Structure 1
Amino acid sequence: MSTIDSTPLAQAEQLLTLGQQALAGGHAEAANALLRAARDVPATRLRAHNLIEAHGLPEAFGAMMGLNCAISPADDIFHFFAGHPTSINPIRDYLADGWRTLSELMVLLEQVDQPLLRSPSVLEFASGHGRFTRHLVKVLGAERVTVSDVVGDAVSFAQQAFGVQGLASHAVPEDVEWPRSYALVFVLSLFSHLPRSSWTRWLVRLWDAVAPGGLLVFTTHGQEAVQRANVSLDASGFFFAASSESNAIDAQEYGTAFTSEAFVRGEVAAAFGEAVFTHFAPQWFWHHQDAWVLRKPAE
């Protein structure tokens, strides 16, 4: 083995190179040790992680979780965790957060007597690079899952990594075409980012994707989030700031939005009627975002 350079970054890069060489030579145990060390350094963390996962080495998270734990280098949510001051193990935190979302969704759907496991088809909209998708696929199977996102690379990654159906979204709601309808349309943390100009338009467009008798589940920044962020809602119960954790979407189209309960109820009732309201759960996802469950009337 050659001498490791003295600087931390150079050391990590050399560990990564040596790990790849060990893999090429069929020395899995040596590769595991080298790549594990490279995974502990932020600059090489994700590259080392993906090599460990791809080769099924003993340090692979996939071996513990029973699912594909590859993470896209373009995943804004992973980078959010990696840069968060409370995250001491960003990979573990990122993967665990997806599992937490799955458990929160499952309990929510039990409360409306429509268990997730009985959903014949699910559209995960604004799906990103699969933080939640990988867990959804584990419990439902890829054949029941369709993902859609305005970031094309995110859809492609999910298709390749998890085997799901993929549907490209658009910045303009009316330009999205649904190839079919879905028993469950799950929209996590989109309406918490939309400006007023597209908020209701996306609500209407996503409702069109719900099958008769099916559910639309979406989340918002409600009263608790308003207090935490110390923002003031306007007379209609709305606030928008052109900033978010995403680097892939124009902040004017995807910033940070806050809404009152009355605002959401008013927009839903005006668009579809009050009868569609099925359940409202404040601070449901991440103990931060409110959850809304709407049911489309059966034909």
Structure 2
Amino acid sequence: MTAVRAEVNAARYWNFEKTKVMTQEQDPILLLQQGEALLAAGDLLAASKALTAARGDTRTRLAAHNLIERHQLDDAFCHWMGVNCEISPQDDIFRFFDGHPTSINPLRDYMADGWRTLAELMLLLESAGRPLLGVKSFLEFASGHGRFTRHLVKAIGAQNVTASDVVTDAVDFARDTLGVRAFASASRPEELVTPGRYDVVFVLSLFSHLPKSSWTRWLTRLYESVAPGGLLVFTTHGAEAVRRQGVVLDDEGFFFAPSSESNAIDAQEYGTAFTSAEFVQAQVSQHIGADRLLRFAPTWFWHHQDAWVISKP
């Protein structure tokens, strides 16, 4: 037994020393492969060193990050954030951060952005007299790959959260990785089938991407998914976004360009939309009722998108 133990210890020492050398060389592909081999061998300390180094290179950043999170190694984000921090390789929003010139630490920026969204939503609902922590059924519509969902789960519990997206991979990720209920959306609002109605239907940055042909149709369909006494919360690109981008609205107060950060959806159906407050108010008044507008908060989310809170009696 003593000889066997000595052989195992020697192997671990060799792996550890090899990891140190490779870390110094900073070959990210080899570091990732080394980390995977060390995980398979059960040497978590050496694996953590190799994968943490691989996480620093854009070529292996996400793969290394997910291995660190999945195995809850020493440098895992989950230890200090208290949420599942795995990121789908198909996540367009993470790729946006990863390629943005101002993002020094894309992983941290991505996680912080989801947490910021949760804080902004909590403050918005508090200002409307409907605290988030009292919500028992919450639909996050157009949820993507869970940038915000994971933080919502921490706030109100996975059992109270339902996610929906038109991208099936995003639905699978929400269900299988984040543990929430999830269902596939539809390309046309008339084809959308929801499992129930919800205390809060939260639609973050969908109406800021819809063409005029489907904008109001989605508004009325999603309002139908709100339970009696509940809220529809959605965001738009309003006056500040118009100013920043220098776009010119049409006579109705609308502008649409067939371009977005998503590679998974047809740009003609999911581009970039800008709306005046008057346009949104007119749609709410005509199709839902002016008295249902509970709160309008300019530049509420990300100091960029306007927030709208619509109530249902």
Residues of 2 paired with 1:236 and 1:82: CA distance?
36
Question: For residue 184 of structure 2, what is the amino acid of its counterpart?
Answer: A
Aligned pairs (5 A) from 1:99-138: 99-138=115-154
How has the CA–CA distance of structure 1 residues 12 and 205 changed in structure 2, closer, same or farther, with 3 Å as cutoff? same
Q: What RMSD in Å do the two structures reach over aligned CA positions?
A: 1.4
Displacement of 1:167 after TM fit?
Answer: 1.2
| 1:167 corresponding residue in structure 2 | 183
| 2:203 corresponding residue in structure 1 | 187
What whole-Å deviation, never above 9, does each CA across 1:170-198 have from its counterpart, x for those lacking one?
Answer: 11110001221000000000000000000
| 1:45 corresponding residue in structure 2 | 61
| Residue 16, structure 1, aligned to residue 50, structure 2 | no
Gaps of 5+ in 2: 1-17
Displacement of 1:29 after TM fit?
Answer: 1.0
Aligned-partner SS, 2:260: coil
Displacement of 1:140 after TM fit?
Answer: 0.6
Displacement of 1:25 after TM fit?
Answer: 1.3
Residues of 2 paired with 1:273 and 1:186: CA distance?
19
What whole-Å deviation, never above 9, does each CA across 1:33-89 have from its counterpart, x for those lacking one?
Answer: 100010000010000000000011010000111110000000000000001111010
Residues of 1 paired with 2:288 and 2:65: CA distance?
46
- List, as ranges, runs of 4+ consecutive aligned residues in structure 1 with deviation greater than 3 Å: 1-8
Aligned-partner SS, 1:162: coil
TM-score w.r.t. length of structure 1: 0.97
Question: For residue 78 of structure 1, what is the amino acid of its counterpart?
Answer: F
TM-score w.r.t. length of structure 2: 0.92
Equivalent residues of 2:23, 2:31 under 8 A apart: no
Question: For residue 308 of structure 2, what is the amino acid of its counterpart?
Answer: W
Percent identity of the aligned residues? 63
Gaps of 5+ in 1: none
Task: Choose the corresponding residue for 2:239, options 223, 227, 235.
Answer: 223
| Residue 278, structure 1, aligned to residue 294, structure 2 | yes
The size of the alignment, in residue pairs, is 295
Aligned-partner SS, 2:60: helix
Aligned-partner SS, 1:284: strand
Displacement of 1:7 after TM fit?
Answer: 9.2
Task: Choose the corresponding residue for 2:91, options 75, 79, 99.
Answer: 75
Residues of 1 paired with 2:180 and 2:30: CA distance?
36
Equivalent residues of 2:23, 2:53 under 8 A apart: no
Residues of 2 paired with 1:59 and 1:210: CA distance?
41
Residues of 1 paired with 2:277 and 2:82: CA distance?
39
| 2:74 corresponding residue in structure 1 | 58
Question: For residue 203 of structure 1, what is the amino acid of its counterpart?
Answer: L
Residues of 2 paired with 1:251 and 1:32: CA distance?
40
Equivalent residues of 2:23, 2:50 under 8 A apart: no
Residues of 1 paired with 2:45 and 2:22: CA distance?
19
Question: For residue 221 of structure 1, what is the amino acid of its counterpart?
Answer: H
Which moved further from structure 2: 24-33 or 48-57? 24-33
Aligned-partner SS, 2:177: helix
| 1:268 corresponding residue in structure 2 | 284
How has the CA–CA distance of structure 1 residues 142 and 5 changed in structure 2, closer, same or farther, with 3 Å as cutoff? closer
Displacement of 1:279 after TM fit?
Answer: 0.3
| 2:111 corresponding residue in structure 1 | 95
| 2:3 corresponding residue in structure 1 | none
Task: Choose the corresponding residue for 2:257, options 235, 241, 254.
Answer: 241
How has the CA–CA distance of structure 1 residues 26 and 212 changed in structure 2, closer, same or farther, with 3 Å as cutoff? same
Displacement of 1:6 after TM fit?
Answer: 11
